A and B are shown apart, each in its own frame.
Chain A
Amino acid sequence: MEATPQAPSPLEETQRSGLALGLVVWVFSLLGVLGALYARWAWTPHSVTVEGASIQHLFDVILAIILVAFVLVHLLLGYFIVRYRARGSESALYFPHHTALEVTYTAVPAVVMVALSVAGILLWSRVHAAPPPDAFVVEVRGEQFGWSARYPGPDGKLGRVDNRIQRPFNVDPEDPAGRDDVTSPEIYLVVNRPNRILLRTRDVQHSFWVPAFRLKKDLLPGATTELVLTPTQRGEFDLACAELCGVGHYTMAGKVRVVTQQEFDRWLRQQGRR
Chain B
Amino acid sequence: MAAAAEARVHAEVHRESFWTRYVFSQDHKVIGLQYLLTSLFMALVGGALAMVFRTQLAWPQAGVLKADQYLAAVSMHGTIMIFFVLTPALLGGFANFLVPLKIGARDMAFPFVNMLSYWVFALSIVPLVASFFVPGGPLNAGWTAYPPLSALPQAAPGSGLGQTLWLLSIAIFCVSSLLGSLNYITTILVMRTRGMSLLRMPLTVWGIFVAAVLALLTFPVLMAAGILLLFDRLAGTSFFVPAGLVVGGQVIQHTGGNPLLWQHLFWFFGHPEVYIVILPPMGIVSDVIANFARKPVFGYPAMVASMLAIGILSFLVWGHHMFVSGMHPLLGTGFAVTTLLIAVPSAVKTFNWLATLWRGKLYYSTAMLFALGFVSLFVAGGLTGIHLGNAPVDIPLHDTYYVVGHFHLVMGTAAVFGIFAGIYFWFPKMFGRLLDEGLGRVHFWLTLVGVYGTFFPMYYLGMAGMHRRIYDYRAFPFLSHLQPLQVFITLSAFLIFAGGLVLAYNMLRSLAAGRPADPNPWRGTTLEWSTKSPPPHHNWHGEVPEVYRGPYEYSVPGASQDYLPQWEPQPAGVRAGH
The chain A residues found within 8 Å of chain B, CB to CB, are: 1-2, 4-5, 7, 9-11, 13-18, 21, 24-25, 28-29, 32, 35-36, 38-40, 43-45, 52, 54-56, 58-59, 62-63, 65-66, 69-70, 73-74, 76-77, 80-81, 84-87, 90-98, 101-102, 105-106, 109-110, 113-114, 116-117, 119-121, 123-125, 127-128, 144, 162-164, 202-205, 207, 209, 211-212, 214-218, 220-223, 225, 238, 240-251, 253
Given the complex of chains A and B, what is the CA–CA distance between A98 and B352 in angstroms?
A: 10
Once the chains bind, are A250 and B473 in contact (CB under 8 Å)?
yes
Q: Which of B148, B360, B376, B386 contacts A65 (CB 8 A)?
A: B386
Q: Which of B364, B470, B567 contacts A14 (CB 8 A)?
A: B364
Assess A204 versus B148: contact at CB under 8 Å? Given A35-B460, A109-B343: yes
Assess A102 versus B325: contact at CB under 8 Å? Given A1-B540, A1-B543, A209-B467: no
| A10: chain B residues within 8 A (beta carbon) | 365, 434, 437, 515, 517, 521-522
Once the chains bind, are B555 and A91 in contact (CB under 8 Å)?
yes
| B360: chain A residues within 8 A (beta carbon) | 80, 84, 92-93
Given the complex of chains A and B, what is the CA–CA distance between A25 and B476 in angstroms?
A: 35
Assess A238 versus B518: contact at CB under 8 Å? Given A59-B387, A117-B337, A218-B325: no
Q: 9 new A-B pairs (CB below 8 Å) besides A18-B362, A121-B333, A203-B245?
A: A58-B392, A62-B390, A91-B562, A117-B337, A125-B333, A162-B244, A163-B244, A249-B470, A250-B67
Assess A211 versus B478: contact at CB under 8 Å? Given A91-B555, A94-B556, A220-B259: yes
B420 adjacent to chain A (CB < 8 Å): no
Interface size on B, residues (CB 8 A): 132
B188 adjacent to chain A (CB < 8 Å): no
Given the complex of chains A and B, what is the CA–CA distance between A272 and B470 in angstroms?
A: 37
Q: Which of A110, A204, A247 contacts B157 (CB 8 A)?
A: A247
Given the complex of chains A and B, what is the CA–CA distance between A246 and B136 in angstroms?
A: 13
B242 adjacent to chain A (CB < 8 Å): yes
Chain B residue nearest in CB terms to A42: B464
Once the chains bind, are A2 and B383 in contact (CB under 8 Å)?
no
Assess A1 versus B372: contact at CB under 8 Å? Given A43-B464, A125-B333, A249-B469: no
Given the complex of chains A and B, what is the CA–CA distance between A114 and B146 in angstroms?
A: 33
> Chain A nearest CB: distance from B67 CB in Å?
5
Q: Which of B362, B384, B468, B476 contacts A81 (CB 8 A)?
A: B362
Q: Which of B155, B336, B350 contacts A246 (CB 8 A)?
A: B155
Q: Which of B251, B297, B384, B472 contacts A164 (CB 8 A)?
A: B251
For window 378-411 of B, CB contacts with A under 8 Å fall at 379-380, 383-384, 386-387, 390-393, 395-396, 398-400
Given the complex of chains A and B, what is the CA–CA distance between A156 and B476 in angstroms?
A: 33
B281 adjacent to chain A (CB < 8 Å): no
Once the chains bind, are B364 and A17 in contact (CB under 8 Å)?
yes
B459 adjacent to chain A (CB < 8 Å): yes
CB-based closest 6 A-B pairs: A222-B242, A211-B465, A39-B460, A43-B464, A220-B326, A93-B359
B195 adjacent to chain A (CB < 8 Å): no
Chain A residue nearest in CB terms to B552: A96
